[in-house]
Amino acid sequence: MSFYVTTPIYYVNAAPHLGHAYTTIAADVMARHHRQLGDDVFFLTGTDEHGEPVALAAEAAGVTPRALADKNAERFKALAPLLNVTNDFFIRTSDPEHVKAVQEVLTRVKDNGYVELGVYEGWYCPRCADFKSESEIEDGNRCPIHKIELTWEQEENYFFRLSALQERLEQHYADHPDFVAPGSRYNEALSFIRGGLQDVSLTRGKLTWGVPVPWDESHVFYVWFDALLNYYTALTYARPGEDLTEEFWPPSYHLIGKDILKFHAVFWPALLMAADLPLPEHLYVHGYLLLDGHKMSKSLGNVLDPFEIIDKYGSDALRFYLLRDVSFGQDGSVSAADFEKRYEAELANDFGNLASRTIKMLLRYRDGAVPQVAVDPGLAPDFDGLCERVSALVGRAELTPALEEIWQRVRRLNRYVEENAPWKLAKEEGREADLDRVLATLAEGLRTVTVLLHAYIPQRAEVLLDALGTPDRSIANAHFGAALPTQVKDLDPLFPKQQASEAA
C-alpha cells in the first residue's frame, strides 16, 4: 500500500511559528504510523515563495523577493529536523522543476478550454493574496483573517473558469462524503460551492515575482494556482531521475488549516479536474491554535516560537502537547502554563514514571531479566483491539482520539502497578510466580504502548524501546503479548521534571 500525505506549503514572508509546526507534526504522525504499518510512504512539505505577500514583505525589508525567500525557506527547512519530522521532500515553489511543471499543467488547463481573458475588479487583501466576496468582508471593509482594510483592485487578467466546474464539484462531494473532514468543514466547502462559483483570476498582470505565463509573459500566475500544484509537481522531481506520480498520486491525505479551506477544498479540486488529474482522496481541515483568544498569526504578532519551546522541553514534548491539548480538527487555546501542566502530569508522571518504575523493579527483583511467563489474562481485555482502533483513527487523521486510546492504557498500567504492588509481592514468601507475572505484564504493556506512541514521541520512544531490548516498531507486533521483552537495561528519566520547572 502507498500513502501520500502533504501539508500546505508555508509562506516565506516571515519566519515559521507554532502554527506551522502544528500541521507538520500532525502529518509526520500519520506518515510514521503508516510506515509502522508497512506502507510505502511519501511525506511532502515545503514553502510557498511567489506572490504579492512575499513581494511586499521583501520591499519592507529592503531586499529582493528572492533573497527573502532564500532566507526564510532555510528557516522552515531547519524547523523540520528540530521537530523530528521525517518528510521525504521539501519543495520550494521557486524550484525550476516546479516552475516548468506548473507551466505545463496550466497550459493544459488552457488547452482544455478553462482559461479566458477578462477584467477583474473587487475588494482585495494583499496578505491573503485573495479577492474577497461580500460574505467574506468584515465590518469596516476589513479582511476577516488579517483585520486590515481591503483595497479595491481592477486589472486585466486571464481567468480560470471555475464556474464551469460547479456541477462536477457538487457531484464529487455527493459521491465522496468523506472527501473533506471534519464534517463541519465538508458542509462549509459544499455550501460555498452551492452558493454559486465565480470565475477567478488565474494570472496577475501587475506582478513580476511569480511563475511566468508561457502564452503571455507580461503576466505571472496568481500565486494560489502556482502553489496548489506543488503537491503534484513535487512527485515529478523529488527523487532525481524518477517520476513518482504513478506510485503516489493522488494524495491519501492533505492537511490544512481552516483559513485556506476555500482554496484547497474548492479551487484545487476544480483545477485538477480542468487538468484531467485525479483528485486527492481526503482533505483534513484543522482549527486554529489560539493565543489570548486569537489565531496565531505572523501579521498579528501573537506567535509562540517553536524553536524556543524545543530548546526548553525537547521536540517530543512539543509534539505530544500540540496533539493532546488541542483536539486536532478544532480550535484550541495554547499557553506556556498549560504546556507545563501537561508535561508534568502526563509525560513526566503518567508515562515517564511508569517506564522508570517498571525497569527499576525488573532490575531490582530480577537483575533486568523479564520473566518469560504468560502475561496477566486479567489485563488483556484492556488491550483487545487497541492497535486496530488506533490505526483506524490515525488513518482518518483523528490524531487526538488515537492518542487518548493509547493514554488510557498508560493510565491502566499505572493502576495495575498500584493494584498489584510488586514491592509487596517481593517481600512475601511463595509469591515469586505472582511477581513474575506482574513484572512480565508491565514490561509487555509498556512495550505495547511505546510502539503505538512512537509516531507521536519518536525520540523518547526509541530510547525506551532500546532499554526494553525490543527495537521492533511495527504495528503488527504492537499487540499485547506479541513480543515479550527478555532483558532490560537502566534508563534515565524520559521526561525530567526539573526541565519543565526550570523553563517555567
Active site residue 20: yes
SS3 content of the chain, % helix, strand, coil (to 5): 50, 15, 35
| Angle value at C-alpha 225, between 219 and 230, nearest 5 degrees | 120
Catalytic residue among 254, 298, 387, 454, which?
298
Active site residue 387: no
The strand pairing partners of 4, in sequence order, are 42
Separation of CA 355 from chain center? 28
**Amino acid residing at 269:** P
Catalytic residue among 176, 295, 312, 497, which?
295
Q: Which grid cell is 27?
A: 502529518
Strand bridging mode 130-132 / 115-125: antiparallel
Category of 418 on φ-ψ map: left (φ > 0), alpha (ψ -120 to 50) or beta: alpha
| Angle value at C-alpha 347, between 342 and 349, nearest 5 degrees | 95
Three-state DSSP at 11 gives: strand
Catalytic residue among 125, 254, 264, 454, which?
125
Three-state DSSP at 192 gives: helix
Q: Residue 100: how many CB atoms within 10 A of its CB?
A: 15
Distance between CA atoms of 238 and 290, rounded to whole angstroms? 34
The strand pairing partners of 89, in sequence order, are 44
Active site residue 286: no
Distance between CA atoms of 318 and 306, rounded to whole angstroms? 8
Catalytic residue among 20, 34, 98, 262, which?
20
Distance between CA atoms of 426 and 53, rounded to whole angstroms? 67
Catalytic residue among 33, 34, 98, 146, which?
146
Catalytic residue among 34, 98, 110, 128, which?
128
Q: Which residues are catalytically annotated?
A: 17, 20, 125, 128, 143, 146, 295, 298
